[in-house]
Chain A
Amino acid sequence: MNTFVQILVSGLTLGAMYAISTIGLSLAWGAVGVLNMAQGAFLVVGGYAAYAGAVFLGMSAPLALALAALAGAAVGAGTYFFVVRFMLESATFETNVIIATVGLALIFENVVLQTFGAYPLRQPIRIEGGVNIAATYIPYESIGILVMSIVAMIAVGWVLERTRMGRAIRAVSQNRAAALLMGVPVKVVYLQVLTIAGVLAALSGVMLSTITTLAPTMGYDPMLKAFIVCVVAGLGNIYGALYAAFALGIFEAAVQFFLGVRFGFPAMLLLIILTLVWRPYGVFGRGSTQRF
């Protein structure tokens, strides 16, 4: 029982973080065909923005979190204005964006490295302490991450399902030509989606840094995991990505507990290979891929 609760808590915490950064990745790919390789760098920007807010500006935790979200929105929007916008007319748009965002990630990483140094930093905004439930110690941090992720997911779900902007984003993702015919300014949708992805990645970065440390390279591992979740779920399928994120988080926690921490990642890679053999379009994939 004890073991089970521990694995569940740690798995749900991991899953919640994967889910948040995966939604951004999946949304950008599914809606506008942007495979954002700078997603990991967005996480880094978020984590360090919260750090800077708390340490240099003396902000409280909620304010520092808001600053991180704002920084995420800025890098997301910036990615549109300074990079993606110039590639829209290109016939090889998707490949161009992949290469350009790899470059962008390197720039962000090195700016952070130059500004804050390579030394891992401790994220000052965190929730200390914990509670014993069923003889298992559960850190408040885990509960905080879970609650924050769920709130963020509900917010994104609400925007996508209930607002005019969200309806337009779904429309572009389902049928771009038709969305254009309805008068949707498709370029604005690119900007909106990248901004949302930036905010989600930044929040995910803050959460991640509270349970590990801040480092300029901290974005790579979660981005890779987000890719794995996306592939397992079927790239572009947001709701599938949610289930897959939590399932993989729990799977990873279980493998780490029973086989050891170093087997967590190889086991996930094995799972992705098996998934692709079994269902090349992902577990929740629709059985066909759409090329723009």
Chain B
Amino acid sequence: MTMDAPALLEIRGLVAGYRDHEVLRGVSLTLAKGKLATLIGPNGHGKTTLLRCVSGLLRLTAGDIRFGGTSIVGRRVNNIVAQGIVHVPQGDLLFSAMSVADNLMMGAYLPAANAVASRRLEEVYGLLPALWERRLQTANTLSGGERRMLAIGRGLMSGGELLMFDEPSLGLAPLAIDQVYSVIANLKARGRTILLVEENANRIVDIADLVYLLDDGRIVWEGAPHALFDHQDLLETYLGS
């Protein structure tokens, strides 16, 4: 037995894309249980595509994705969700004509989650009290920050072990971004394993255990977040800061 935490998510040589356009050209990444890894890099270079591969929305051309030691390649989305992988998508993708409560209940759609839905609902309302106040409103009446919280809360309802957030700060006001990141920090403190896509390196320096810099479908740098700031060249080339 080693003292290292076992890898919860392991991606090896992932190649994937859309039709004849290859987006990921051999990505490898390891995420240990309870850790928070951030995927940064310029827009349109495969960060979202990588999450879509893990959650089963997109088929891979080559490579392997292992979750808890077992390959999940080729499985259907519902099976992958049932395994414990949560994908909080970019742009929230809420059920806009449904109430906040119904949106959350959709997060607990699968039988195992549905059985403990009322207890989870309490937990989510405890973590995100704004949703409790708005529970009867339809999702399209919420503010941008509240919508993001609902998307996160809906993801938590499935009780997944691995949480994947795709640009949770996108399009939000600074104050709302702070709130989102304090929720994510809270989830990390509770022992959740998190894979976070973010464009803004400054946001993740305090929270991430590990940073992967993705450019043109490849991981071009990986390391601790503070080390990234020692590489001014990387920051300038890839993140324009």
Contacts and interface: CB of A to CB of B under 8 A. Distances in A.
A182 B81 contact: yes
Contacts of B125: none
Contact of B78 (A177, A178, A184): A184
A90 to B, nearest CB: 15
B87 A170 contact: no
A183 B84 CA distance: 11
A168 B77 contact: no
B158 A183 contact: yes
Interface stretch (B64-72, B102-110, B195-203, B204-212): B102-110
Contacts of B114: 164
Contacts of A164: 105, 109, 114
Given A174-B97, A181-B57, A168 B78 contact: no
Interface in B86-135: 87, 89, 93-98, 102, 105-107, 109-110, 114
B193 interface: no
A177 B93 contact: yes
Contacts, number: 65
Contact of B93 (A167, A168, A178, A185): A178
Interface string B146-178: 000000001000100000000000000000000
A171 B95 contact: yes
B55 interface: yes
B82 interface: yes
Q: How large is the interface on B (under 10, 10 to 19, 20 to 34, 35 or more residues)?
A: 20 to 34
A180 interface: yes
Interface string A137-179: 0000000000000000000000000001001101100110111
Q: Which of B77, B94, B98, B102 has the most CB of A within 10 A?
A: B77
A15 B55 CA distance: 46
Interface residues of A, number: 16
B95 A175 contact: yes
B102 A167 contact: yes
Given A181-B55, A182-B158, A171 B106 contact: yes
Nearest to A181: B87
Contacts of B94: 175, 178
B57 A167 contact: no
Given A164-B114, A167-B102, A168-B109, A183 B95 contact: no
A181 B77 contact: yes
A180 B57 contact: yes
Contacts of A178: 89, 93-95, 106
Contacts of A167: 98, 102, 105-106, 109
Contacts of B110: 182-183
- Residue from A167, A183, A185 with most neighbouring chain B CB atoms (10 Å): A183
Nearest to B114: A164
A174 B97 CA distance: 7
A177 B94 CA distance: 10
Interface of B: 55, 57, 76-78, 81-82, 87, 89, 93-98, 102, 105-107, 109-110, 114, 154, 158
25 contacts: A167-B98, A167-B102, A168-B106, A168-B109, A170-B95, A170-B97, A171-B95, A171-B98, A171-B109, A174-B95, A174-B96, A174-B98, A175-B95, A179-B106, A180-B57, A180-B77, A181-B55, A181-B81, A181-B89, A182-B81, A182-B106, A182-B107, A182-B154, A184-B78, A184-B109
Q: Which 3 A-B pairs have the closest CB atoms?
A: A183-B81, A178-B93, A183-B78
